[in-house]
Amino acid sequence: MKTQYFFALAVLSGFTLSSPASAEIKWQTNSSAGCSGASYGNSCNFSAAGVTATATAWANTVNSTNTQIDTAYLGVYSGGLGVQNRDASYGDPGEGVQPEHAMDNNERFDSILFSFNSKIVLSKVEIGYKYSDSDISVLAYIGSGAPVMLNKTYADLQASSDWIKVGNYADLVTNSPKTVNAGNTSSSYWLIGAYNSTFGGTLSTGNDHVKLLALYGDKFSPPGQVPTPSTLFLMGAGMLGLLRLRKR
């Protein structure tokens, strides 16, 4: 009888104190199946494990000062996502033509905003194409509501308490996921761009051209979550069973 009691106690302890390890989610981004629109401001949806990421492209192309951010065209290639900004004929010659069909920082700073329908902890970024150099900047939005990008500047994002710089990452290798976000920041909105010196760092700029092939991460699970009613019921049933075993 003691054996049954301690076995039940062990099972209950495992149920209440441990939680199953969740598998890392991979969002593959080289398919246009979930894309809509064929011009500036278009978007693409990528789903995995019940979580959908909506990607949109951005670049600092407003007016002649080229400081404010405007929508760009998000292209899908075999190597992943690239960006074509609006300034191919306005001071960014070659934009939209290889290698500037990729997300680049030649003349303008291209970036891609990923909006998830669930808060996630981003863990890795993978590229499927690079030309010359392959440095990136990663930011996470921690403000309320959805972030506003249009007509903001990258300096605005840097100065805002709603955004945090997760990091600048140098020399990504194609088809080899790069570990990011050492601080385990969680967010529903992640901005990934060709390295942008506005966000600090001393990496070289003007020569980074990459296509984003995949993102990796996991759903955010707040620590100390309150048990659901069904969980409480099962715990109560388990405790009742233990009491009956002890009385016997």
pLDDT digits (tens, 9 = 90+) for 38-76: 999 999 999 999 999 999 999 999 999 999 999 999 999
Here the tokens at position 57 are 């492209």
Pairwise pLDDT comparison (229 vs 89), residue with the higher score: 89
With 0-12 / 13-18 / 19 or more C-beta atoms within 10 angstroms meaning exposed / middle / buried, residue 241 is: middle
123 Ramachandran zone, left/alpha/beta (phi>0; psi -120 to 50): alpha
Percent of the chain with pLDDT over 90: 79
What's the alpha-carbon Rg for the chain, to the nearest Å? 23
Entry pTM: 0.84
* pLDDT bracket for residue 23 (50, 70, 90): confident
Residue type for 108, please? R
Question: With 90 as the cut, is the pLDDT of residue 182 above it?
Answer: yes
Sequence spans of domains, the chain:
22-223
State phi, psi for 110 to the nearest 5 degrees: -85, 145
pLDDT tops 80 at residue 230? no
Q: Where is pLDDT greater, at 239 or 202?
A: 202
Is the model's pLDDT at 204 over the cut of 80? yes
